């Protein structure tokens, strides 16, 4: 009995003394999220990284008004099997925020910076996870490097006109005529109340959505010139719609495997945008959730299980 107790005690000591998933060479804990930055095009680009770089890579591209913070659950839960990289775009999160007078805030420019970022990290093959703004940025990268993209995980990342919801009403007016009069109503989008609405609208249990997200976003959007930079992106979004046919053709021609995990109660990108993928994606996994724009906030655990299954197949 004494020997058994001693052996058990020794096993426990060993178990709790050895960090999980540790590199023998440098002691890196692969299951821990690391917070890094690198210079790209004269800008400091912040990114979160977890998992073993020897494993398959998933690049996580965030939406508006968020940052790589929105992928914290994915980074934590999938690091045991996958290598995960989540950058912040210029003007977002912890990346540099160049003035709109010196940096042109367009989706072409954001995609170019992230493309250079991936090249600098020597990422040749990866799956893209895209949400909201991550879609126009991700599809620009995918069409430029179709040989690199091994799969697409789409969480409310729209590329169809039928997927543009009623919440785009004021922005559509901006596309027709850019003026201070048209921009004035859009400034409300940057208020704390409006940001909270984006995270909670359409959710089953708003009281369970972490308020840290919209409070972080509000802090960043309150910086000088932030409204101007984001209005520039709102105006430029019209050029994404012009590229929708090209991106749809990419899906048809490339036969890239696609996982759809979509919050159906999204006022910006409703379920019609998810259904439209069925017209063009040849290899498609499809799951609709009874939640809002940021589906990971409410249904992250199930979405992450589906990502794991999808990645094993691809």
For 160-169, b/e burial (b = at least 16 CB within 10 A) is: beebbbebbe
The answer to whether 57 and 83 are in contact (CB under 8 A) is yes
Asked about 293 being catalytic, the answer comes back as: yes
Q: Is 26 exposed, middle or buried (0-12, 13-18, 19+ CB in 10 A)?
A: exposed
Could you write out the DSSP letters of every residue in 131-194?
-TTHHHHHHHHHHH-TTTEEEEEESS---SGGG--GGGHHHHHHHH---HHHHGGGGGGGSHHH
For 115-133, b/e burial (b = at least 16 CB within 10 A) is: bebbeebebeebbbbbbbb
Spot the catalytic one: 62, 69, 83, 293: 293
- Catalytically active residues are 293
């Amino acid at each position: 009995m004494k020997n058994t107790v001693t052996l058990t005690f020794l096993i426990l000591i060993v178990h709790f003394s050895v960090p999980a998933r540790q590199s023998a060479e440098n002691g890196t804990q692969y299951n821990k999220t690391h917070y890094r930055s690198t210079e790209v095009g004269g800008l400091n680009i912040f990114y979160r990284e977890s998992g073993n770089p020897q494993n398959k890579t998933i690049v996580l591209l965030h939406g508006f008004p968020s940052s790589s913070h929105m992928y914290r659950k994915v980074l934590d839960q999938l690091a045991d099997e996958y290598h995960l990289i989540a950058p912040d775009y210029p003007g977002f999160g912890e990346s540099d925020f160049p003035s709109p007078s010196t940096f042109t805030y367009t989706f072409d420019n954001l995609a170019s910076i992230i493309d250079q970022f991936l090249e600098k990290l020597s990422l040749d093959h990866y799956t893209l996870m895209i949400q909201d703004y991550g879609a126009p940025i991700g599809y620009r990268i995918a069409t430029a490097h179709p040989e690199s993209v091994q799969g697409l995980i789409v969480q409310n990342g729209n590329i169809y006109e039928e997927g543009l919801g009623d919440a785009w009403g004021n922005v559509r007016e901006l596309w027709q005529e850019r003026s201070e009069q048209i921009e004035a109503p859009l400034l409300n989008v940057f208020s704390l109340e409006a940001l909270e609405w984006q995270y909670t609208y359409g959710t089953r249990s708003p009281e369970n959505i972490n308020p840290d997200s919209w409070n972080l976003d509000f802090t960043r959007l309150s910086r000088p010139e932030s409204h101007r930079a984001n209005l520039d992106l709102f105006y430029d979004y019209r050029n994404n719609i012009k590229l929708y046919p090209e991106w749809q053709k990419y899906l048809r021609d490339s036969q890239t495997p696609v996982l759809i995990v979509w919050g159906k109660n999204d006022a910006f990108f409703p379920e019609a945008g998810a259904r439209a993928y069925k017209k063009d994606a040849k290899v498609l996994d499809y799951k609709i959730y009874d939640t809002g724009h940021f589906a990971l906030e409410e249904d992250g655990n199930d979405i992450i299980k589906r990502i794991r299954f999808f990645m094993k197949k691809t």
